[in-house]
Chains A and B, each alone.
Chain A
């Protein structure tokens, strides 16, 4: 049986290097949804009355970027995160930095005097989905 030669050196090389370097761009293990933990976080911005301020039209950031930002800040500050394990103090630190970045990405002038950032924490308990909405930080809009 004749075996056809197939070049695979880049395939093998990239896999090996990605497994070795872990997450060092452009090497990655592509860990997206590699587990389904019993929690999910979303983040939103609210006005003085607690009403949601849509990101579109007001800021250059999107909701999924807020989640990435949360993770990045936690990793940078060595804060263990997920499953609601963050302390109130840690959430305040994270929320302050997130809100500063969000406000710095605003489009034009905002009508609000102050904004708040919230974290919605979803998890299963006794077969039911629970939502825990917590305000992380409030800041004045300059």
Chain B
């Protein structure tokens, strides 16, 4: 049952959406997204390859000598308003607009970060607060998380559709060619650091993959299925929690094999479905009440 104000307990983890749980999601989003936003504003002074909204406006105008500090200050203030749950409809809308422009500016510098999801999370939350303001269906505690979940599930589904549309069954059949991508990924580390060991290690993994073709085909087929069935994330919290581990294992496998990460997708996955800060909080809370059983558990 979904409650409006819920005690943060292990029993409620899969049955409700609490305010403290939401607070830790917000804090995690700010910690993982804001540094990238601020870095882009302070370092990107032009947009040589405009994409998205930067084709329509000069996104680099927000990185002018004085303007950029105003933008950074605005980002900081919005972060505080966001965490403190103040004027959330306006706050999430403004964060979405700024994040959209800044991430588009980043990609307009030739850096394809696939960061669209990060700005869309705030648009999804803005929808939730808009529904609350208009007294439209559902409750805000659920919608502000569930709407964001929909965006994350959509991203994984799109990735699966893209693989099926572009390669079809060949995505699994052509798996030996993944050895070239493995070499490329580890070569990146060599090019960045000058350490030849990375290049040699990449060749070792590539050779192993080349000698285990069937295993790789099964692995790739499984990961494609996991992405395609990401709609499961929207069914309920319990399904989402356990299914998110399948997606996380997929990311871990990609990191081991290809030495690459997709933080713009994996970070929201971890934050919304596992919420590690909240789990740590629950653990510490449980330990505290074990040590002091006479203390009354206060409601949120």
Interface residues of A (CB under 8 A from B): 6-11, 14-15, 18-19, 23-44, 52-56, 60, 62-69, 71-73, 76, 101, 120, 122-124, 129
Contact = CB atoms under 8 A, between A and B. Distances in A.
A33 B235 CA distance: 28
Interface stretch (B3-11, B23-31, B64-72, B176-184): B176-184
Contact of B188 (A10, A15, A38, A42): A42
Interface string B144-168: 0011001101110111011101110
A52 B124 contact: no
B166 A129 contact: no
Interface stretch (B86-94, B103-111, B241-249): B103-111
Given A10-B154, A14-B120, A25-B103, A54 B194 contact: yes
A76 B51 CA distance: 11
Interface of B: 43, 48-49, 51-53, 100, 103-104, 107, 110-112, 114-117, 119-120, 124, 127, 137-138, 143, 146-147, 150-151, 153-155, 157-159, 161-163, 165-167, 170-171, 174-181, 183-184, 187-194, 206, 231, 234-235, 258, 260, 262, 265
9 contacts: A7-B143, A25-B104, A26-B116, A38-B180, A41-B184, A55-B191, A63-B187, A101-B110, A129-B180
B53 A54 contact: no
Contacts of B119: 26
B221 to A, nearest CB: 13
Contact of B171 (A24, A35, A67): A35
A65 B171 contact: no
A42 B184 contact: yes
A54 B192 contact: yes
B180 A11 contact: no
A7 B184 contact: no
Contacts of A53: 194
Contact of B183 (A19, A35, A40, A101): A40
A36 B181 CA distance: 8
A36 to B, nearest CB: 4
Given A10-B147, A11-B150, A25-B104, 19 more contacts: A11-B153, A18-B158, A25-B52, A26-B52, A26-B120, A29-B161, A30-B265, A33-B181, A36-B177, A36-B178, A42-B187, A52-B190, A54-B192, A55-B192, A63-B188, A63-B192, A64-B188, A124-B176, A129-B206
Contacts of A67: 184
A66 B184 CA distance: 12
A26 to B, nearest CB: 3
Contacts of B163: 33-35
Contact of A14 (B151, B174, B184): B151
A25 B111 CA distance: 12
Contact of A29 (B115, B162, B234): B162
B177 A34 contact: no
B43 A8 contact: no
Contacts of A122: 180, 183-184
Given A10-B154, A15-B157, A60-B43, A124 B162 contact: no
Contact of A72 (B110, B174, B177): B110
A6 B114 contact: no
Contacts of B183: 40, 122, 129
Contact of B107 (A9, A25, A63, A120): A25
A29 B167 CA distance: 14
A132 B31 CA distance: 42
B110 A69 contact: yes
A56 B192 contact: yes
Contact of A10 (B115, B151, B231, B258): B151
A9 to B, nearest CB: 8
